[in-house]
Structure 1
């Protein structure tokens, strides 16, 4: 396989891993990076979704102890069963809406200008969420979440179907606006990512299997490995960061980045491919 193509796959994997769990939109960054690298065909779109699985393995590794304890306690621990039920409830809305509208969204919304606009709007929403009073927090731990809390977060996650919105951003910031603490919203976002991203990756590979062949294994393998490694570093850093910091810097990054993309597209400095 072409060495240059493998290098591009590694770059895309790094971008995916670094942005998947930050509230800055991995899909948006992949669309823009793919546009710059010339990876905009149908196979590249499948690649973008598939390498998310590498990032999710990083979350499984970081949260392995909690996941193992939960699995072991399903038969006897009510807390473990409630946790799995909540994740399942939050997972369902994205599945339903994804199956109904996923094709139309990919056909009409996966453009650099829409991504950039979503960056800016999402940044403004983060600034708004971070201004909420401390008294607005009513859930301090994932295990204290109710099924209704989980359903609300699941519905908010559906907003991430708009590229540039950010799945993590929608679930974390949405969870905070719904009364979850920053730590609780972040933890639940990570747990919800496990079935969401694995399911999306498996579905994309199955649905578009006619586009793929064994010759694509090195490309996808490189993307997965680099996605896993960069996501593992990012998740560990983020969990330390939110212990004493807000998401405000990410909001300003989103706004600035979105403005740059819009200006370069408008002036013709960069030709962003759809």
Structure 2
């Protein structure tokens, strides 16, 4: 048993579970953590690291499915045209399409040009500033308090904002919440729309990445993947529920300030050679 790898799996699972659905960018945090714990190539095969990213994301998605299982089950019972379930999943499909199309077209370019510490750090800072500006403008007075009241035009607008998250470090959660603010959703409804939209978006992205992977793993590596999946799932369960309760009482400015600080830290580390750019 490789206990060092298991320890790293636990750390990575915790970070993913905390950051995936908060508007602070899981990508930016993974860059810091993977450098700190030396979970990167060439110490580990790149294909294995990519597999880790897929598995921990699936663990986080499962947390959303479990937390919202009653609403999901209810929506699946009402899939006839015009019913609430049909409208909900049609909205998710419409919101999913813009980033799916652009992601497929630009996937290789994004990986080659934008997946580095400096560009991720700038995305963290820019996204944090946008969150502060947009929350001040849109947070108060937005009339839509339930994702059941979102129309197809609003869903498409949120989907267009999700395209911002193709810039690594911008955060899918932050991008979709900002899009929801602009579309008239209050903050809690915006977060819940973001959670539901994560299901098709992250499953599709993970599936696409999985199809491209060619990898063989040792038993120790498989165990580490399972550990990371379970940890990510459990932590995400706790974090998402706590995040929704937080949003009922407090603004999101604290997350914006935090991500700006993290972005600055990454830039300092990158330019002082403390982190691979």
TM-score (norm 2): 0.92
Count of residue pairs brought into register by the alignment: 271
What whole-Å deviation, never above 9, does each CA across 1:44-97 have from its counterpart, x for those lacking one?
A: 133213310100111111111100111112148611111110011111122212
Q: Does 1:157 align with 2:162?
A: yes
Match of 2:94 in 1: 89
Superposition CA RMSD, Å: 1.8
Of 72, 75, 79, which aligns to 2:77?
A: 72
Match of 1:166 in 2: 171
What whole-Å deviation, never above 9, does each CA across 1:207-242 have from its counterpart, x for those lacking one?
A: 11x124364421221111111011001001011000
Q: Alignment partner of 1:91: what SS?
A: helix
Larger mean Cα displacement after TM superposition, 40-49 or 187-196: 40-49
Q: Cα–Cα, structure 1 residues 62 and 137, in superposed 2: closer, same or farther, change >3 Å? A: same
Q: Give structure 1 stretches of 5+ with no counterpart.
A: none
Match of 1:24 in 2: 24
Of 201, 204, 222, which aligns to 2:206?
A: 201
Aligned partners of 1:120 and 1:254 also within 8 Å: yes
Counterparts of residues 182-201 of structure 1 (less than 5 Å)? 182-201=187-206
What whole-Å deviation, never above 9, does each CA across 1:21-46 have from its counterpart, x for those lacking one?
A: 10000122112211222223322133
Match of 1:273 in 2: 276
Give the C-alpha shift of residue 7 in structure 1: 1.1
Of 123, 131, 145, which aligns to 1:126?
A: 131
Match of 1:33 in 2: 33
Structure 1: 4+ residue segments shifted above 4 A? 133-136
Match of 1:102 in 2: 107
Whole-Å separation in 2 of the counterparts to 1:128 and 1:10? 36
Whole-Å separation in 2 of the counterparts to 1:135 and 1:11? 37
Match of 1:50 in 2: 55
Q: Cα–Cα, structure 1 residues 80 and 260, in superposed 2: closer, same or farther, change >3 Å? A: same
Aligned partners of 2:20 and 2:60 also within 8 Å: yes
What whole-Å deviation, never above 9, does each CA across 1:157-194 have from its counterpart, x for those lacking one?
A: 11111111000010012211232211111110000001
TM-score (norm 1): 0.93
Aligned partners of 1:30 and 1:48 also within 8 Å: no
Q: Cα–Cα, structure 1 residues 259 and 76, in superposed 2: closer, same or farther, change >3 Å? A: closer
